[in-house]
Amino acid sequence: MPDWTMLKECKLFDCLSEKGKEAFLPPGIFYWLGRAKKEATINATIGSAYGPASEIGLPGDAHTVFYLPGLMQFFSELSPAEIFPYAPILGAPDFRSTWRNWILEKLKPAGRNLDALLTSPVAAPGVTGALAIVGELFLTPGESVILPDRYWENYDNVLCANVGSRITTYPFYDGEDFNIPALRSAVDESLASQGKAVVVLNFPNNPTGFSPSVATAQKIAATLEDAAVTSGKWVVAIADDAYEGYVYTDDCLQYSIFAELAGKRNVLAVKLDGVSKELLFYGARLACITFGVPESCASKKDLLAKELEEKVGAVIRASISNCNHPVQQLVRRSLESKMGLLLAERQKVIDVLRRRWEVYNREMEKADRSILHPLASNSGFFSSVDLVSAKANDVADLLMKEFKVGVVPSEAGGKHSLRIAFCSVEERDIPRLVTSVFEAAKRLSRK
C-alpha cells in the first residue's frame, strides 16, 4: 500500500473518510500489465482478445483488439433520441427486453423453459458495476461471500474494500473437476452463522479457464438447493457470466450455470452478463443484472420482479444514477437486427481462441510436473499453472526481465500460480510462451 506522502504532507489525508483512507489500487494485474507493455515481447497479461486483424476476417494484418464489425455500423446510425437523453434508472425498456431475449437464446441449450422464471434485466456499468450493485444489495458489511480459492482478484476490491463483506474461500478443484463437497461445506458454514449464504460462481472461470460439465453444473445447483432447503434459509447464487460462450470442448457446459440455478427452491439465482467479453465491447461499460426466481414463486414473479427491480434501482440511483444510453441503443439495434451476424463474427474469435488454447495445452503437456502443474481448463480467456516449489512473483519477474514474457502471478492463500492470458497471444508465440514459463519456473524451483 502507498504511504500517501503528499496527501499527508498537505494535511489532506485527514479529510478522507475511513473508507477513503483505506482505499488503494492494488498492484496486481495492472502492475504486471503496465510492465508487460514496456518490457515484454509476449504479453499474456491482458484479459482481452487481441491478434492480427486477418485472423478474424478483418482487412489487413495489423495487431488489433478483436471486435465485431457488425456492431460498428450502428455508431453512425443512432438517432439523437437514442444518443442524448438520459436512460431510465433501470435501463432503456427496449434494450432490457432485447437483452432478455438474448439471455433466453443463450440458455436454449439447457432445454428448460426459463421464460416464466426470469425477471427483466437491469442495466449496469459492466459486470464489475453489476457485482458492486448486487453486493451492496445482498451483503451487509461483515457478512461473508463464498468464492472458490481461484477467483478474479478484483472481487477483493468490489466485495471487500467497497461492499465491506468478507470473502470465504473453498478449494476450487477436486482433482480435475469442480469441488462440490468443499462448496457444500462452505455454504453450510455460512448458513449456520448468518441469515443466508451468498455464493459467486464464475464459469468460464478467471483465472483457471475451467467450466464444469452439465452433470457437475446440475449437481452444483442441486447442492445449493439442498443446503438452502435443509437450513430453511436462502442461498443467493450469483453467476458471474463475464466469459459466457467461450467454450472449447463439447463435454463442458455450453451455457450459463444460471439456467440450472433458476427455479431451485430457496435459491435466488442472479445472472450478471454483459457486452465486455461476450460481444468484445469492453469499452461499452454495459452489463445486466437478471434474477431467476424459484419455481415456487413463478406465479408471483411479476410482482416479485417489480420489488426486486425497485431494490436494484434504489442502489443504482444512489450511486451511478443510470447507465450509458447510446451504448444500450447500439447493442439493442445490433442484437435485434443482426444477432445471426454477430454470432457468426464472434464464432471466428472463439475459433481463434480455441486454437490457441489447443496449442497451449499441447505445449504444456510436455512440461515436467515436478516444476509446474497446469490446471484443468476447457474455456474462457485464461489458463493457469501452479508452481510446485517456486515463488509466483519471482517467476513472473524473471519471465519479464529475461524472457520478455508478461504473465500475472498470484500468491493468494499461499498458492503460487501464474495466470496466462492466451486470449491476447498469437498462436505462433504460444510455444515460446510455454517454454519460457517452464524455463523460468525451473530456474527458480528448489532442486
Ligand X SMILES: Cc1ncc(COP(=O)(O)O)c(C=O)c1O
Residue 208 or residue 231: which is nearer to ligand X going by CB?
Answer: 208
Say whether the peptide bond before residue 204 is cis (omega within 30 degrees of 0). Answer: yes
Instruction: Give the integer Cα–Cα distance in Å for 211 and 269.
Output: 18
The site string for ligand X over 175-204 (x = CB under 6 A, - otherwise) reads ---------------------------x--
Residues 6 or more apart from 281 whose CB is under 8 A from it? 67, 68, 71, 275, 327, 331
Closer to ligand X by CB, 128 or 417: give it: 128
Specify the residue, 118 or 284, whose C-beta has the smaller distance to ligand X: 284
Closest to 108 in 3D by CA, of 255, 242, 278, 326: 255
Binding residue for ligand X, selected from 42, 47, 327, 399, defined by CB under 6 A: 47
Write out the binding residues for ligand X, residues 211-270 only, by CB under 6 A: 240, 242
- Residue pair 233/87 in contact (Cβ under 8 Å)? The answer is no
- Nearest distance from residue 159's CB to ligand X, in Å? 11
DSSP 138-161: H--TT-EEEEESS--THHIIIIII
Nearer to ligand X, 120 or 128 (CB): 128
Q: Please work out the total of residues on this chain that contact ligand X, with binding judged by CB under 6 A.
A: 13
Binding characters for ligand X, 272-301, by CB under 6 A (x = yes): --x-x-----x----x--------------
Q: Provide the minimum distance between the beta carbon of 290 and ligand X in the complex, in angstroms, as a whole number.
A: 15
Find the shortest distance in angstroms from Cβ 276 to ligand X: 3
Q: How far is the CB of 210 from ligand X (least distance, A)?
A: 12
**CA dist 375 to 41, 43, 75, 175, 201, Å?**
25, 20, 41, 9, 18
Tell the smallest beta-carbon distance from residue 327 to ligand X (Å). 12
**Binding residues among 103-132 for ligand X as defined by CB under 6 A:** 126-128
Task: Please give the DSSP secondary-structure letter assigned to residue 162.
Answer: I
| Least distance CB 88 / ligand X (angstroms) | 20
User: Which CB sits closer to ligand X, 228 or 242?
Assistant: 242
* Interatomic CA distance for residues 363 and 109, integer angstroms: 32
- 389, three cell numbers: 516449489
* Nearest Cα to Cα of residue 217 among 193, 196, 237: 237
If binding is defined by CB under 6 A, does position 380 make contact with ligand X? no
Q: Is 152 in the site for ligand X (CB under 6 A)?
A: yes
Q: Report residue 255 CA to chain centroid gap.
A: 14
Q: Which residues pair with 410 in a beta bridge?
A: 417
- Least distance (Å) from ligand X to the CB of residue 273? 9
Nearer to ligand X (CB atom), residue 55 or residue 240: 240
In the bound state, the residue with its beta carbon closest to ligand X is 126
CA distances from 36 to 29, 39, 214 (A): 10, 5, 37
Taking CA atoms, 97 is separated from 281, 290, 331, 336, in Å, by 20, 11, 12, 10
Nearer to ligand X, 242 or 444 (CB): 242
Nearer residue to ligand X within complex by CB, 30 or 84:
30
Minimum Å gap between C-beta 93 and ligand X is: 22
**Cβ of residue 423: shortest distance to ligand X, in angstroms?**
11
Contact residues: ligand X, CB under 6 A: 47, 126-128, 152, 202, 206, 240, 242, 274, 276, 282, 287
